[in-house]
Amino acid sequence: MKLFVGLGNPAAEHAFNRHNVGFMAVDAIAGAHDFPSWRKRFQGAACEGRLGREQVILLKPGTFMNESGRAVGEAVRFYKLKLDDVIVFHDELDLAPGKIRVKTGGGVAGHNGLRSVTAHIGNDYVRVRIGIGHPGTKELVTHHVLRDFAKADRAWLEPLLAAIAANAHYLADGAPDKFQSRVAHAMQTEQAEEPPPREPRKREAKPSAKPEAPAETTLGSKLRRWLGS
């Protein structure tokens, strides 16, 4: 059994913050793989399903970012998990937007959610670092992470979450390098296939009928609601 933890803050006003991209990642996994509804467990929200050969618990701590370890520790003790069975998804300032890295152990780099998890269960768990970019100066970091993603971020955020969800079974099966490479490949393909910007249309004498919008995926629709379109 594996425990996938998304880090974030549970209050509604934080739902679309950059700091909550860990929550968004496990939400995307749950939706893509038809996990059952979330329910209150382990001082947070949890659901359980199968990825690849493994049974997986998804967890979103309800203890707020700085106390995330309380919820994670409770789940780890309940299932008697080893640390390499715990995979934590979190925002990473030191990676460019749309990039991910997977690592086991290491420092917490000032991330209060990781600091709390380490304090409660130890350090040698797996981290999926999801790049959100750095605002440039230390003084702007808090404002940056606690602000919502911009509409322009949709271009990389939606395909990244979809790629994380589509390849999450590699993490469950103990192949983090393959997970990382497959997600990177999906993002490179997405960028290569992105159409060039369209030329501005000339004004017509008569208004033409508005073309019907293409159908959206569930994830795409949700992100569009998140990002205020």
Q: Per-domain residue ranges for the chain? A: 2-194
Structure confidence by residue, pLDDT tens digits, 207-225: 554 444 444 445 555 555 5
In the predicted model, what is the mean pLDDT of residues 35-64?
A: 95
The pTM is what?
A: 0.84
Calculate the average pLDDT of the chain.
88
Candidates 1.10.150.120, 3.20.20.370, 3.40.50.720, 3.40.50.1470; CATH matching 2-194: 3.40.50.1470
What are 150-164's pLDDT values in tens digits? Answer: 999 999 999 999 999
As to burial, measured by CB atoms within 10 angstroms (0-12 exposed, 13-18 middle, 19+ buried), residue 10 is: middle
Least reliable range by pLDDT among 33-42, 133-142, 159-168, 186-195: 186-195
Which candidate in 19, 90, 144, 169 is catalytic? 19
Whether pLDDT at 86 is above 70: yes
24-35 average pLDDT score: 96
pLDDT tens digits for 186-196?
Answer: 999 877 766 65
Confidence of residue 177 (pLDDT cuts 50, 70, 90): very high
Q: Above 90 in pLDDT, residue 55?
A: yes
Pairing relationship of beta strands 54-61 and 86-92 according to DSSP bridges: unpaired
Q: Which of 224, 219, 228, 225 is nearest to 25 (CA)?
A: 219
**Selection from 169, 197, 194 nearest residue 182 by Cα:** 169
What is the per-residue pLDDT for 110?
A: 84
Would residue 90 show up in a list of annotated catalytic residues for this protein? no
pLDDT above 90 as % of the chain: 76
Going by pLDDT thresholds of 50, 70 and 90, the confidence category of residue 202 is low
Task: Give the pLDDT of residue 148.
Answer: 95
Q: 101 with 63: CB under 8 angstroms? A: no
Mean pLDDT along residues 111-139: 94
* pLDDT (0 to 100) of residue 213: 43
Mean pLDDT for the stretch of residues 168-181: 96
From the centroid of its chain, how far is CA 204?
43
Whether 130 contacts 23, CB under 8 Å = no
Q: Kindly tell me if the per-residue pLDDT of 227 is higher than 80.
A: no
Handedness of CA 89, 94, 100, 103 (dihedral sign): negative
Sequence-separated (6 or more) residues with CB below 8 Å from residue 121:
69, 72, 73, 76, 83, 86
**pLDDT range class, residue 64, cuts 50, 70, 90:** very high
pLDDT at 21 over 50: yes
Regarding predicted confidence, which is higher, 170 or 209? 170
Beta bridge partners of 2: 56
